[in-house]
Homo-oligomer: A and B are copies of this chain.
């Protein structure tokens, strides 16, 4: 075999090919291209995805893709930006209600799992592809991730404040906890997507149970020592 068509048994990518329609406004065409690109990048991987297939799935000719998005690199970057923004927006929307820190975290997690479950290709692009294709791209998602980690960090800090236990948790420690929590969420997102029997709500509940209880213990000053 020449090379592996990664991510798909026979090279067939699920989902409909956009019917070739003439004369659409540029903004719409661009979104169609990004839709196609996210799908292909997600299923094939950045390198294995070919501009040919993306153009075909988008229902346009290749030169048009180049006209609008300049290069494979920029196209990929555009995908990352759009999907990162969408994910952050989804989480933000979920949390928008406010309330105590735990409820906010709960809401954020549910929104996160719901969004990643609904757009699996986008999640793969962000989590698996972008982070493994070297600098220009990894940096792009790192920004989004930082945003989310910062948000979680603030929630943990707030929770500590609510419990009047701030001094017990060093700032550095809080950062580590947020990282671990986000990492666990990311890991569960992949797990939940792969296993149809686990809903977004279930995944969020599992993690929440795990995390909140642990945080509570820590905030009480009880910690595990070797």
Contact = CB atoms under 8 A, between A and B. Distances in A.
Interface of A: 1-9, 44-48, 71-73, 102-103, 106, 124, 128-129, 131-137, 173, 176-177, 179-184, 186-188, 190-191, 198, 202-203, 205-218, 222-224, 226
A3 B182 CA distance: 32
Nearest to A47: B47
Contacts of A124: 132
Contacts of A106: 224, 226
What is the predominant secondary structure among interface residues of chain A facing chain B? helix
B173 A206 contact: yes
B4 A73 contact: yes
A118 to B, nearest CB: 20
Q: Which of A128, A133, A215, A216: most chain B CB closer than 10 A? A: A133
A42 B217 CA distance: 38
Contacts of A214: 209-215, 217
Contacts of A2: 2
Nearest to A8: B134
Given A124-B132, A132-B132, A186-B187, 20 more contacts: A1-B73, A3-B72, A4-B72, A4-B73, A4-B134, A7-B134, A45-B134, A47-B47, A106-B224, A179-B187, A179-B191, A180-B206, A180-B210, A183-B184, A208-B224, A209-B214, A210-B211, A212-B214, A212-B224, A213-B216
